Every structure is written in structure tokens, then in C-alpha cells.
Structure 1
Amino acid sequence: MYLTKIHPRVSETDGVGHINNTTVPIWFEAGRNEIFKLFTPDDNFDNWKMIILNMSVDYVSQIYFGREVAVHTWVKKIGNTSLQLYEEIRQNDRICAKGTVTYVNFNLQMQKSDPIPEGIRKELKHHLFDDTDY
């Protein structure tokens, strides 16, 4: 599992006092940075590989300003050219949002998907989701 800590900002808080629902997908994306680095080590968008195919978010509980948030990111499935992640946002050890996202390893120059390299696949396997733990 990848773990990213977020400190909610005032600007992410909406008029009813909790973190706005539009912020959650942004925080989920922040939790994927280490995975992005596996596919594009130089962070150069000319060489970018991770193209999002779809995502879903379930909002489970409100999130509040002033309390640290933990983004947990697991690898759920690894295909030939794509991978699916399972993500949770927790505050005070409570699941506040959860979701899945699917990415494809995409070659921008060739405009086609590429197989996930074995070295990356091996690293991703260290972060597989085991639902018996939760």
C-alpha cells in the first residue's frame, strides 16, 4: 500500500464546513504520485505513460478541515497494459471516501497502449490489495 498524508486547506472547505466533494479526486490523485514515478521517472509530460480510463468515488463520511487525512492506495488488478487501483481516504482512522481508478500504460508518440514492463509489474505486486486485512 502507498500512503500519502494530506493536510486539508481552508480553501478546500465548503460552506457547510466540510471538505468539498470535488477535492476528493484530487487527493486520490496525490496518492498515486509514486505509481506515476514508476511509469515516468523523469516526470516529463512528453514521456508520460499513465492515462486514466475511468474512476469511481464513494463518499462514505464527511471530511473536515484541521485534521490530517491519509490517502491509502493499493493495486487491485494488473493487466497486460492496464492496472486498477483501490483507494481510501481516512480521517481519524475512519474511511471517508473510497474508490477505484483504472489506468493504461500509454505510448503518446505511438498513440497506443504498451505492455506494463516486468520491473514495474514486480514493484506493483508489492502493493496488492488484500481485502482480508480490512
Structure 2
Amino acid sequence: MYRKIIEPRVSETDGVRHINNTVLPVWLEAARNPIFKLFTPDDSFENWRMIILHTSIDYRSQIYFGTDVDVYTWVKRIGTSSLELYEEIHQGSILCAKGTAIYVNYNHMEKKSEPIPTRIREQLEEHLYHSEEE
């Protein structure tokens, strides 16, 4: 599991005094940076590999300014060229949001997806999600 701590900003707080729902996708993407780094170690957009195919978020509880949040990211599934992430946002002991994101390893020069290299696959496997039902 990857973990990122985020300090909510005043500017992210909306008129009903909680963090606006449009902010959470940005926080989730920020927590994916270590995964992006696996595919594009130099952070170069010329060499960028990760293309998002799908994302979904279930909003469970409000998030407030003044208390840090923890963003957790797991690898839920690794395919030949794609991977699915499972993500949660917690404030204190409360699960505030959860979601998924699907990315594909994409070669911009060739204009096609490519298999995830073994060295990256092995690192991703260290962060596999295991549900409580397993």
C-alpha cells in the first residue's frame, strides 16, 4: 500500500464548510506519484507511460479543513498492459471516500499499449490489495 498525507487547504473548502468534492480526484492522483515514477522515472512528459482509462469515486463522508487526510493506494489487479488501483481517503478514523482507477502502459511514439515490464510488475505486486473477505 502507498500512503500520502494531505493537509486540506482553505481554498479547497466550499460554502457548506467541507472540502469540495472536485478536490478528491486531485488528491487521489497526487497519491499515485510513486506509481507514475515506476513507469516514468525521469517524470518526463516526453516519456510518459501512464494513460488513465477510467476512474470512479464513492463519497462516504464529508472532509473538513483543519485535519490532515490519509490517502491510501493499493494495486487491485495487474493485467498484461493495464492495472487497476483501489484507493481510500480517510480523515481520522473515518473512511471518507473510496474509488478505483484503471491505467494502461502506453507508448506514445508507437501509439499503442505495451506489456507492463517484469521489473515494474514485481514492484507493483508488493502493493496488492487484499480485501478482508480473502
TM-score (norm 1): 0.98
- 1:88-129: CA deviation from partner (whole Å, max 9, x where unpaired): 000012110000000000001111001000000000000000
Q: How does 1:11-22 map to 2 (within 5 A)?
A: 11-22=11-22
Q: How does 1:110-121 map to 2 (within 5 A)?
A: 110-121=110-121
What is the percentage of aligned positions where both structures have the same residue?
62
Displaced runs of 4+ in structure 1, greater than 3 A?
none
Find the counterpart in structure 2 of residue 33 from structure 1: 33
Q: Name the aligned partner's letter for residue 90 of structure 2.
A: R
- 1:31-79: CA deviation from partner (whole Å, max 9, x where unpaired): 1000000000000000000000000000000000010000000000000
CA RMSD of the aligned region, Å?
1.1
| Deviation (angstroms), 1:81 | 0.2
Q: Name the aligned partner's letter for residue 110 of structure 1.
A: E
Aligned residues: 134
| Deviation (angstroms), 1:133 | 8.0
Distance in 1 separating the partners of 2:22 and 2:59: 11
Find the counterpart in structure 1 of residue 107 from structure 2: 107
Unaligned runs of 5+ in 2: none
Q: How does 1:79-90 map to 2 (within 5 A)?
A: 79-90=79-90
TM-score (norm 2): 0.98
